[in-house]
Amino acid sequence: MEYFLQQLINGLTLGSIYGLIAIGYTMVYGIIGMINFAHGDVFMIGSVVSFILVLSLGLTGGSGPFLIILSLALVVVIAMLIASVYNWTIERVAYKPLRGSFRLAPLISAIGMSIVLQEFVRIAQEGRPKPIQAIVTGKYELLERVNDQGQFIVTISNMQILIIVCTVALMAAFTTIINRTSLGRAQRACEQDQKMASLLGIDVDRTISITFIMGACLAAFAGLMFFMYYNVTDFFVGFLAGIKAFTAAVLGGIGSIPGAMLGGMVIGLVEVFWSAYFSVEYKDVAAFTILAMVLIFMPQGLLGKPEVEKV
Amino acid sequence: MVAAPKDTSFSQEANKLDTPALIKDLIGTAVITFLILTPIVAYETIMNQGTLLIESRWGWVFLFTAITVVGRLLLHLFVWQRAPSPKTASAAPSKGESAAGASFRKNFNTILFVFALLLPFILYFIPGWDKRGIDFAITILIYIMLAWGLNIVVGLAGLLDLGYVAFYAVGAYAYALLTTVYLPHWFGEGVVPWAFYIVLPIAGALAALWGVILGFPVLRLRGDYLAIVTLAFGEIIRLVLINWFWFTNGPQGINVPKITFFGLPFNASDEGFAAFFGIAHDRIYSYFYLYYVILALALLTFIATNRLRRLPIGRAWEALREDEIACRSLGINTTNTKLTAFAIGAMFGGFAGSFFAARQGFVSPESFVFIESALILAIVVLGGLGSQIGIVFAAIAIIGAFEVFREMGFLSYILPEGVEPVQFRMLAVGLAMVLMMRWRPRGFVTRRDPTVFLKEKKSVSADLVSQGHG
C-alpha cells in the first residue's frame, strides 16, 4: 500500500510533465489539424535552454530558497521566450507555406524540422547527457512502514510539490485564457471553422502563431521541470517525451485540453506503475502499445469528439 | 541556419524597394536569429572531470546573425525584388520535345542499368577506390532498394510509414538467428555456407508477415495517425530486440557468417572461392559479388514494382493515395489494398535487411533506429514521392553527400576545434526535407509518366493531382 502510494506520487509528477507537453500537441492539432512532430523537440529546447541558464546563473542546491525561486522564475521566463521564438519560427518556416499542399507535406516537413532541431543542439552542445546537481532539494515523509522486510518511507520531495503545484496553476491560467479572453475565443473559433472565423474579422494566421507560442511556453516549462526532476538533460529527450505526450493527447481525445492533461496523468501513472510492478525495460513499449491500442480501438479518446469523415 | 520567415506583405510588392519595411524586416530577422542562437550557441557546456563548465561563444552568435541578416538583405535586393517569375508556366509539361531528348529519355533506364552493371569494373581501375568505391556503391544500392520498398507504401499507396526500418530489422535478425542458431540446429552445420540463399526468401516472407501483422491494426488510420503508430511499432520492435536478451543477445548484437559464393566462402582457405577457381586470394572478389547480389535484388524490387503498378492492385494503390473515399465507393477493397502495400513494401525491406546482415557479418539493434527510417523517407521524399528514378538520384545525393561531408577536410580550418563536417550530415538531411516540401514537393524528378493510358502517353501535370504526384 505504501509502495503503491509512493508510485502514485511519482506517476502524478511525471504525468504533469507529459500533460503540459501534450497540450501543445492537442492545441495545434485542434487548430490546423496536423501533428507538430517537432513539438517534442521544442520541449527539448526548453529543457536545454533552462539547463544552460541555470548553469550560467551559477545556481546550486546550496543557494538560499529565495534566491532559487527568484532565479527559477527568471529562467522560466527566458526559456519560455526562447522556446516561443523557436516554435513561432518553425511554424512560419516549415508549416505555414505548406497549408494547402498535399496531405503528407506538413508531416514530412515536421519530421525534417525535428531532425534539424535535434542535430542543431547535438552539434552545438555535444551529444553526451548533461548531469547537474539537484537544485530544489528536501523532502517530506508522509508515511512510514516498518515490517520484517525492512523500512519503507513514503516521501514527497519539494521538487514534486513544485511540479504538481505549478502545473495546476498553469492549467488554471491557461483554461482561463482559452475560456474567458477574446484570444481564447478567437482560438476556439479558428478551431471550428477557419474560413468563417476570418470572415468575421479574426486574424487566423496570428491566432495560429499564438497557439504555437502558447504550446511552446507550456513545453518550455515542462522542459525546465523535467531536467530539474531528473537532474539530467540531452538533445534526445524530446523524442521519447514527445511520443509519450502525443500518446497522452490522443488518449485524452485530440483537440481537448482537459483531455490532454488527463491523458498525461494516465500515461505518467501507467509508465511508473509498469516500471514498479512489471519491468523497467519495457516501460516505453507499454507507452507505445497504449498509443497503438487507443488509436485503433478508441480513436476519439477519452474526452474527444468522434471525428466525422466528410467528402 | 534557420532563416527568419518571409514577410509576405513585403515580397508581394514587386518592383519598388520599400526602405522602412526592409529595415523593419531586417531588424526582425536579426532579433529572431539572435534569440534562436543565444542560449544554445552562445554558451557551450563542457564536461570537465565530472563537473560542467560554461564557455561562452558569443562570437559565433554575432557571426551567424550577421550572415543571416546579410543573406536576407541580398535576397530582398536580388531575388524577391523581381516581378513574379513565370514559374507557373514551367509547371505545364513541355510540348515540343526534341527527338534526341526523347530518345535519351526513352533509353535513360537502359543507360543507367548498363552503367550500374559496369560500375565495379570502372571503380576497379581507379587506384585507391577499388574496394572503398565498390563498398560505397553497395551502401548506396542498399538504400536505393530500401527506398524503393518504402516507395511502394508511401509513394504509391500514400501511407506514411515511419517504422519502415522495423522490417529491415526483421530481415536482418531473421538471417542472423536462422544462420547462427536454427539452421545448424535443424539441418546440421553443413547448411551454414548456403544459409544466405535459403534465408533470403524466408526473411522476405517473415518481413511481409510482419507487414501484415503491423498493417492490420492500423487499417482504419489515415495520414498523421498512421505515421505515429508505425513509428511506435518501429520503436517497439527495436526495444524488444534490445531487451529480449536470450533470443536476440540484446544490445551486444550477433556475429553472423558473411555471404558466400554459392557455398564458397571468400577467404584464403582451401575451400574458399579463390582456391576453387585457382586464383590468388583477394578481398575484392567478395566486394564484386556483394555488389552484383544487391544490384540484382534492387533490380528485382524495381521490376516487380513496375509490373505491380500495371496490375489492378497497383492501380488501386495509386487510387487509394489520391482519394480513399472515392476508392471505397468504386468497390475497391481498401483492406486488401493497404495490406498488400504494407506486405510487399516490407518484403523488400526484409530482403535488404537480410543482405545487410550477410554483408556486415554483424547485426545489433543500433542499426535500426528511427533516424534510419527518417533517412529512407528523406530519400523517397527528395526523389519525388512515387518516382523510382528520382529515388536513385536522391539516394546517391544523400548517401554521397555523407561521404563528401566526411571528405571535406578543408572545412576543419574554419570550423571550431572538435567540430567535424561529418556531424552536419543529418542536419543537412533534415533541412533538405523541410526545403523540399516547401519548394519542390514533387521531388527532384517532377515528371511522371502515367502507368495506364488510353491512346498515347501524356505527362500528368502537377496541378492535376491532389497529392502532387501523378
Average pLDDT score over residue span B322-334: 87
SS3 content of chain A, % helix, strand, coil (to 5): 70, 5, 20
**What is the residue-averaged pLDDT of chain A?**
86
What CA–CA distance (Å, rounded) separates B55 from B44? 5
Residue among B373, B232, B437, B384 nearest A242 (CA): B232
Task: Tell me what percent of the residues of chain B surpass a pLDDT of 70.
Answer: 80
B150-154, B180-184, B447-451 — most confident range: B150-154
B372 to chain A: nearest residue by CA?
A115
From the number of C-beta atoms within 10 Å of its C-beta (0-12, 13-18, 19+), residue A92 rates as buried
Selected for mutation to probe chain A from B25, B433, B467, B469 (highest A CB count within 10 Å) is B433
Give me the residue from B41, B236, B438 closest to A97, CB to CB: B438
CB pairs A-B closer than 8 Å: 190
Is pLDDT of B102 > 90? no
- By Cβ distance, the residue of B227, B243, B430 closest to A116 is B430
Facing residue for B427 by CB, picked from A96, A123, A299:
A123
Query: How far apart are the C-alpha atoms of A248 and A219, rounded to whole Å?
Result: 14
Chain A residue nearest residue B217, CA to CA = A296
For A103, which of B221, B223, B431 is closest by C-beta distance? Answer: B223
How would you class A64 by CB atoms within 10 Å of its CB: exposed for 0-12, middle for 13-18, buried for 19 or more? Answer: exposed
CA distance A296 to chain B (A): 6
Residue B105: which H helix or E strand, with range?
Answer: helix B99-124
Place of cell 537544485: A135
Q: Which residue of B has its CA nearest to A83?
A: B36
Q: Mind listing the domains of chain B with CATH numbers?
A: 8-82 (no CATH), 112-464 (1.10.3470)
CA geometry: angle at B275 spanning B269 and B278, to 5°?
160
Is A288 close to B232, i.e. CB distance below 8 A?
Answer: yes
Q: Which residues pair with A155 in a beta bridge?
A: A141
* Contact residues on chain B for A101, CB-CB shorter than 8 A: 437, 441, 468
Radius of gyration in angstroms for the set of CA atoms belonging to chain A, rounded to a whole number: 20
Across the interface, whether the CB atoms of A115 and B427 are under 8 A apart is answered: yes
List CB contacts (< 8 A) between B233 and chain A: 288, 292
- Residue B325, CA distances (Å) to A27, A310, B187, B319 in order: 27, 9, 51, 10
Nearest CA in chain A to B250: A281
CA distances from B320 to A106, B53, B305, B307, B348 (A): 20, 55, 16, 18, 21
Segment B332-361 shows an average pLDDT of: 92
Kindly report, residue by residue over B370-403, the tens digit of the pLDDT.
889 989 998 988 887 778 888 898 899 888 888 7
Quote the minimal CA–CA distance from B128 to chain A in Å.
31
Task: For residue B63, count other CB atoms closer than 10 A to its CB.
Answer: 13
Residues of B in contact with A309 (CB under 8 A): 325
CB contact under 8 A, A35 and B385: no
Interface test with A, best of B375, B438, B464, B465 (most A CBs within 10 A): B438
What confidence score (pLDDT) does residue B447 get?
A: 57
Using 50, 70 and 90 to split pLDDT, how confident is the model at B445? Answer: low
**Cβ separation B374–A115 shorter than 8 A:** yes
The amino acid sitting at B28 is G
CA-CA distance, A107 to A115, in Å (whole number)?
A: 12
**Closest chain B residue to A29, measured at CA:** B224
Mutate to test the interface with B, among A80, A102, A282 (most CBs of B within 10 A): A102
Q: Which residues of B touch A291 (CB under 8 A)?
A: 228-229, 232
- Whether ipTM tops 0.90, in short, is no
Q: Give the nearest chain A residue to B216 (CA atoms).
A: A296
A112 with B217: Cβ contact below 8 A: no
Q: In the predicted model, is pLDDT for residue B461 greater than 70?
A: no
Over range A57-72, report the average pLDDT: 80
Q: Decide if B145 contacts B297 (C-beta within 8 A).
A: yes
The Cα–Cα gap between A288 and A292 comes to 6
Chain B residue closest in CA terms to A112: B430
For the residues A3-27, what does the mean pLDDT come to? 90
Q: How far B388 CA sits from the closest chain A CA (Å)?
A: 19
Nearest residue in B to A95, CA atom: B438
- The topology (CATH level 3) of A2-297 is ABC transporter involved in vitamin B12 uptake, BtuC (1.10.3470)
Asked whether the beta carbons of residue A34 and residue B437 sit closer than 8 angstroms, the reply is no
Q: Looking at residue B410, what is its pLDDT?
A: 62
Whole-angstrom distance, CA of residue B146 vs CA of residue B164: 9
For B332, list phi and psi in degrees, rounded to 5: -80, 135
Q: For residue B244, give the amino acid letter.
A: W
The x, y and z cell numbers of residue A35, run together, are 501533428
CB B399 within 8 A of CB B372: no
Whether pLDDT at B134 is above 60: yes
Segment among A35-49, A285-299, B6-20, B156-170 with least mean pLDDT: B6-20
Domain ranges of chain A: 2-297
**Residues B348/B147, Cβ–Cβ less than 8 Å:** no
What are the backbone dihedrals phi and psi of residue A143, each rounded to the nearest 5 degrees, phi first? Answer: -140, 155
Q: Report d(CA B371, CA B362) in Å as an integer.
A: 20
* B419 has a pLDDT exceeding 80: no
> CB–CB of B441 and A102 under 8 A?
yes
pLDDT at B416: 60
User: Which of B127, B133, B166 lies closest to B290 in space, CA to CA?
Assistant: B133
Q: What is the DSSP string of B377-413?
A: HHHHHHH-TT-HHHHHHHHHHHHHHHHHHHH-TTHHH
Q: Cell 526548453 identifies what position?
A: A46
Q: Do A94 and B437 touch (CB under 8 A)?
A: yes
Report the distance separating Cα A170 and Cα B214, nearest Å.
39
State phi, psi for B37 to the nearest 5 degrees.
-85, -30
Mean pLDDT, rounded, for B133-159: 91
Q: How many angstroms away from the CA of A190 is the closest CA of chain B?
A: 20
pLDDT at B462 over 70: no
CB B168 within 8 A of CB B359: no
**Does the distance separating the beta carbons of A98 and B39 come in below 8 Å?**
no
Q: Check CB contact under 8 Å for A285 and B225.
A: no
Cβ–Cβ gap A295/B377 under 8 Å = no
Q: How far apart are CA B250 and CA B261, in angstroms?
A: 30
Confidence band of B302 (pLDDT split at 50, 70, 90):
very high
Whole-angstrom Cα distance, residue B29 to residue B70? 10
Q: What's the pLDDT tens digit per position in A196-211?
A: 888 998 899 999 999 9
Contact B47 A81 (CB under 8 A): no
Q: Compare CB distances from B32 to A35, A89, A112 and report the shortest one's residue.
A: A89
Q: Are A296 and B221 a contacting pair at CB < 8 A? A: yes
Q: Which residue of A has its CA nearest to B32?
A: A85
First-to-last C-alpha distance (Å) of chain B: 33
Which of B44, B60, B224 to probe the A interface (max A CBs under 10 A)?
A: B224
Q: Taking a C-beta distance cutoff of 8 angstroms, is the pair B95, B102 a contact? A: no
- β-strand pairing of B254-255 with B260-261: unpaired
Task: Return left, alpha or beta for B290; rule: phi > 0 is left, psi -120 to 50 is alpha, else beta.
Answer: alpha
Query: Do residues B445 and B383 make contact, with C-beta atoms less than 8 angstroms apart?
Result: yes
* Separation CA A1–CA A6 (nearest Å): 9
pLDDT digits (tens, 9 = 90+) for B286-296: 888 899 999 99
Q: Which residues of A192-223 are buried (b: 16+ CB within 10 A; e: fewer)?
A: eebeebeeeebebbebbbbbbbbbbbbbbbbb
The pLDDT mean for chain B works out to 80
Looking at residue A155, its pLDDT comes to 83
